[in-house]
Amino acid sequence: MDKLIFPFLYLLSKYESMRTVINIALISSLSFLSLSAQNDKGNWLMYFGTNKINEKFSLHTEVQYRNHTISPTNIEQLLLRTGLNYHFKPNAFATLGYAHIGNHLYESERTSPETEEHRIWQQFLTTSFLGRIKFEHRYRFEQRFIEENFKTRFRYRLMLFLPLNSQKIEKGTTYLGIYNELFVNGEKTFFDRNRLYGGVGYKYANNIDFQFGLLRQETQSIAKTFLQFGIIFNTNLIAEN
């Protein structure tokens, strides 16, 4: 009967690594829900994609649905981000892109955002290895047009990936992901925010990853923890002859 009612979960449970990820996600989610009231925690639902155009260029696509609460029914931000990547070599690329961010107040009755941001951004990302651990350095510069205001911001993120059941991250690998990202303003208030993340991922296919984790964000005025669910889906747009 379980196979008929829950065919998807049944198939996933046949894979030991995916079952481990599911168990960790369920236990962590239940613990997270019991920590505090709904408005003390939030969640982010995320999609990321790298879409290969040719050997040197690819398109970045991204959607983030961010919520004030754990339940995805009280939207805080809808972030849409895209960009053109230029790959210098397999472990280094630069990006020029655009993002639109709609910001919503807590329990707002409006369906449209209270404020909107248009953002131009540039990025350089490089990776390296120390044994099985993959290090990812991301440098990002942003020009932010928020209603009538203009701001700039610099971000640096250091992320580590550690495969748990193989020597490298490949199809069928369960892995840990940890990062810290510092945001600093170009204006007189130097510190903007800091994000600390820890989570687990599963490489379902060569072009598909599932990720689950917790992010702690601290700004000048507030600190808050977010439950994160993400999918990475990469495509190859090169026409086959």
What is the Cα–Cα distance from 233 to 208, expressed in whole angstroms?
5
H or E element at residue 31: helix 16-35
Mean pLDDT for 160-185 is: 97
| Alpha carbon distances (Å) from 100 to 70, 78, 229 | 23, 8, 21
pLDDT at 30 over 80: no
CB 108 within 8 A of CB 114: yes
pTM of the predicted model as reported, rounded to 2 decimal places:
0.85
* Residue 159 identity (one-letter amino acid): M
Taking the C-alpha atoms of residue 4 and residue 12, their distance in angstroms, rounded to an integer, is 14
Q: 63-93: string of b/e by CB count within 10 Å (b at 16+)?
A: ebbbbbbbeeebbbbbbebbbebebeeeeeb
d(CA 226, CA 74): 13
3 state SS of 59: strand
Lowest mean pLDDT among 28-42, 80-94, 140-154, 219-233: 28-42
* CA 205 to centroid of chain Cα atoms: 18
CB–CB of 55/82 below 8 Å? Answer: no
Bridging pattern class, strands 235-236 and 41-52: parallel
Question: With 50 as the cut, is the pLDDT of residue 126 above it?
Answer: yes
All structural domains of the chain, each given as residue ranges with its CATH number in brackets, are: 2-236 (2.40.160)
Q: What is the pLDDT at residue 16?
A: 54
Give the mean pLDDT of the chain. 88
Alpha-carbon 149 to chain mean position: 26
Q: Which one-letter amino acid corresponds to residue 191? A: F
Mean pLDDT on 39-60:
94
In order of 34, 82, 181, the CA distances from 122 in angstroms are: 39, 11, 16
Does residue 26 carry a pLDDT above 60? no
